[in-house]
Chains A and B, each alone.
Chain A
Amino acid sequence: MSLSEPDHELVAAELGREPTAAEAALFENLWSEHCAYRSSRPLLSAFESEGDQVVVGPGDDAAVLALPTPEAADAPAGARDADDYGDTYVTFGIESHNHPSYVDPFDGAATGVGGIVRDTMSMGAYPIALLDSLYFGGFGSEESRYLFEGVVEGISHYGNCIGVPTVGGSVAFHDGYEGNPLVNVACVGVTNEDRLVTATAEEPGNALVLVGNATGRDGLGGASFASEDLAEDAETEDRPAVQVGDPYAEKRLIECNEALVDEDLIVAARDLGAAGLGGASSELVAKGGLGASIDLEAVHQREPNMNALEILLAESQERMCYEVDPENVDRVRDLAERFDLGCSVIGEVTEGNYVCTFEGETVVDVDAEFLADGAPMNDLPSTEPAEPDHDLPDPDLEEAFEAVVSDPNAASKRWVYRQYDHEVGTRTAMKPGDDAAIVAMREAATGATPDDPEPVDDGSGDGRNEDDRHGDATGVGLALSSGANPRWTSVAPYDGARAVALENATNLAAKGALPLAAVDCLNGGNPEKPEVYGGFEAIVDGLADACAALDTPVVGGNVSLYNDSVEGPIPPTPTLAVLGTRAGYDAPPARLDGDAAEDSELLLVGHSEAALGGSAYLAAAGGSDRFPALPDDPAAIVSSLAAVARHEATLASHDVSDGGLAVALAELVDDDAGADVTLADHAAAFEETPGRIVVQTTDPEAVADLAGDLPVFRLGDVTADGTLSLSVGGESIAVDADSIRELRGVIERELA
């Protein structure tokens, strides 16, 4: 592959001459679908991305959001004004690493983590949480299991080593991902007004400094490299196309970045990802409307005889590009050396073109903005997805219950999150396995940063200060959820995507939190197929409409197309990662309290719909149905659900999703806590309408009050016998906690 003929003509016309080989390769990479979103950007304007909480929106390495003060953290974003936000900021970004994870699941997934963490660092933030949404072919397939094991191990290896906890995410299995798994990784970082850095170059004359790993020929030899120079080079051809990550270097880079921010040495920063140095440095100066003069020979290299193209475009990992005031360059060098990292001054910011020289020759001389933003957009035809038929199966209750509870999509993911260090950082208040993670943001109450603590004794008599006296000062609980249900979007791309948004928001609400902002990772097949593009268009619109209706700005994202293999395209997959807040970190668990069995009731809060389209039930039993109609006031619903979850009489709270009420109830049961529930029919037990939670409460009247317009349905009693007794229509089953564990333990058992 090389620069396409129409693009070549456009570039030649702009330059007034033929592009050099290095320029052609730069344009080819930066104007690729991956970098320039040529098929998706026209659709992305559907997203609303503004709000008082948005400090930096889409277009930088990661979005930056102001956290509400603890007093305002429980209010819906729509009800806050600018004064309700404090000085503590969080960054939020998401990235896909789909194709690399297929070629090499361990390294592909590991470097995906590395990339999104560096996006966080570029904003002057310290990474504090990771979420991974993973999608594989059917769990029965040997290839899916190999990819699943490798991806989880890669994330575990990299994330654990750099000390960033993986606190949540999702795993889905669906035949549509056979031959094309998805790895979507989101990262949250913490920073504040003083420490914030952006990727906009500011001042001509400032130095461009490259810090981190030495540059080698990593990430070369792929489809993008067919220039004659490279083709003649057999050594390059033998290199693997997937980069290999070095988490130890990344950890040192995180600490070095933090030290550089502490000492205020960085003017602007961009991490090196796709298209390597050429991508990062040109985008940095383009955003500032500036140019650069770069000496490619100055780049610290790991291998001899690298040519200009290789230095420009290699995707060696663990590297950052900084704009630095010339006065501070020596100090940057010292700090890089302290953390045993390479450092080279590669050039400077200028007012002219983006210019690279190598061995005395000018190999690139182009307008940076044209390079970064000049790619023409594609206008592709699409066809609308068809509505499913109505054809319901008739399995017996026990069979259906066992099938959905042991469906790997709904089953326990303990095998996964046990391999992730989800506690490092001592912020994880709600751990994986529940609806949403809750990360403690103590700095929202105290203003202290991890490396700049207050004096230990503030003179108040107990020898401690506010920051160290946790529990006295209530900070902000950061609630996090990510995922998408491919069964929903396969049946109904538009409504399925809306449901994905409501489902993630409900995960937060079940823990008492409300959304602050979201980032999305839009995965699709080959957009040149009209039916694939139609489905993709539908998930973009569905997600955009639902997030707008949830008052949740979509502040960043990533698009991954061409996820198509011999097995066909993947289901359109709109991974949404939602970040929300609540006052404090103490939320009701998704586990019944057997001690309070006598004094409490089990309630379902939210609208139900007798429609089974896209459900685990139909996936197991066959048949088809329409997708549930969704409520059109999701912000009000989520707000009511969160108020119910936060109420002091709420002892347990759990979102209803995959597998419907049947699975939600099974998950709530514990050895000493059961439930006795009666439902009208199979649809009630297994339909998956989002926007509903099951709560155990000692005060049903309070729940009815807080639920407002939402229906509250009494499911039955909480018991102390550790058994789920379920009557549906005329059928009854009783399943004890051990049997439920057995059913839910399918992943752990199969992959032991």
Chain B
Amino acid sequence: MTVSVVQFGGSNCDRDAVRALRHLGIDAERVWHEDGLPAEPDGIVLPGGFSYGDYLRAGAMAARAPVMEEVREAAESGVPVLGVCNGAQIGSESGLTPGAFTTNASARFQCEPVHLRVERADTPWTAAYDEGDTIEVPIAHGEGRFEIEADAHDELVAENRVLFRYCDETGAVTDAANPNGSTDNVAGVLGERETVAVLMPHPERATLPDVATSTDGAGMLEAFA
């Protein structure tokens, strides 16, 4: 099992993702986007950063890079794909997951710890948690506000594809606990398959016990184990 962490020009959490996965005993390597994925990828991470400098829209250019065709094919064949932060933006821009991530309600970049409520525990990404658990994972983004049309959101909720919602430390999903104005406090969603997920918070920053205040993010990365 080797996880491919796709590095675009402007990715900057690629090394962090590799380090966090390796800490968990999961082999991982960075893959330069132009070099393409291995023939049979075992798992894929779209890491955080500012691919293509966030020019046009965050994630919009990377979503159209040739490697994303390979990512889409792998996703369709059941390979686990996790998009984090800029990777989440790329995931939604490329249609892997629904909705879009846009400018924070504060109109500023925000780097801070947040709490998430685990909405489903029966997916590979959340098997380490119980439904309703509150976990602490940091965010670091300027464009993380989840936006989706009302009908599509109803469908998303009906299909039970909301993976995490922003909440306070007691687990209550409130406006005050919503750091960026996301619709319905949504922090992370599933693709059409449960093996595809994106989220704005950074699980790789909540994995290494020597620096992180919380290691609650490790559970998500263990999906690749």
Contacts and interface: CB of A to CB of B under 8 A. Distances in A.
Interface string A246-264: 1111011001000000000
Interface stretch (B19-27, B66-74, B118-126): B19-27
Contact of A421 (B10, B22, B111): B111
Main secondary structure of the interface of A (DSSP, over half): loop
Give the one of A156, A161, A475 with max B CB within 10 A: A161
A462 interface: yes
Interface in B5-36: 9-10, 12-13, 15-16, 18-20, 22-23, 25, 27, 32, 34
Contact of A163 (B49, B54, B108, B204): B49
A470 B209 contact: yes
Nearest to B50: A161
Given A426-B19, A464-B22, A156 B109 contact: yes
Interface residues of B, number: 38
Interface string A456-471: 1000001110011111
A304 B22 CA distance: 50
A89 interface: no
A257 to B, nearest CB: 14
A167 to B, nearest CB: 11
Interface string A239-250: 000000011110
A248 B204 contact: no
Contacts of A323: none
A160 interface: yes
A421 B140 contact: yes
The interface centre, meaning the residue of A418, A419, A426, A456 with most chain B CB atoms within 10 A of its CB, is A426
B110 interface: yes
A470 B22 CA distance: 10
B150 interface: no
A426 B208 contact: yes
Contacts of A163: 12-13, 49-50
B52 interface: yes
A429 B208 CA distance: 10
Interface in B168-225: 202, 204-205, 208-212
A422 interface: yes
Nearest to B51: A248
Chain A interface residue bracket vs B: 35 or more
B204 A426 contact: yes
A426 B22 CA distance: 13
Contacts of B20: 426
B22 A468 contact: yes
A339 B212 CA distance: 32
A255 B50 CA distance: 14
Contacts of A153: 108
A463 B209 contact: no
Contacts of B55: 248
A470 B207 CA distance: 11
A463 B25 contact: yes
Nearest to B15: A450
Interface in B33-58: 34, 48-50, 52-55
A339 B109 contact: no
A385 interface: no
Contact of A340 (B9, B16, B202, B211): B9
B10 A468 contact: no
B87 interface: no
A424 B16 contact: yes
8 contacts: A163-B49, A247-B53, A338-B34, A419-B109, A424-B12, A426-B211, A456-B22, A468-B23
| Those 7 A-B pairs whose CB atoms lie nearest each other, nearest first | A163-B12, A248-B53, A468-B22, A470-B210, A429-B211, A161-B50, A426-B16
Given A156-B109, A424-B48, A426-B20, 12 more contacts: A160-B140, A248-B53, A251-B53, A418-B108, A418-B109, A420-B109, A425-B16, A426-B205, A440-B211, A468-B19, A468-B23, A585-B210
Interface of A: 153, 156-157, 160-163, 246-249, 251-252, 255, 338-340, 417-429, 440, 442, 450-451, 453, 456, 462-464, 467-471, 475, 585-586
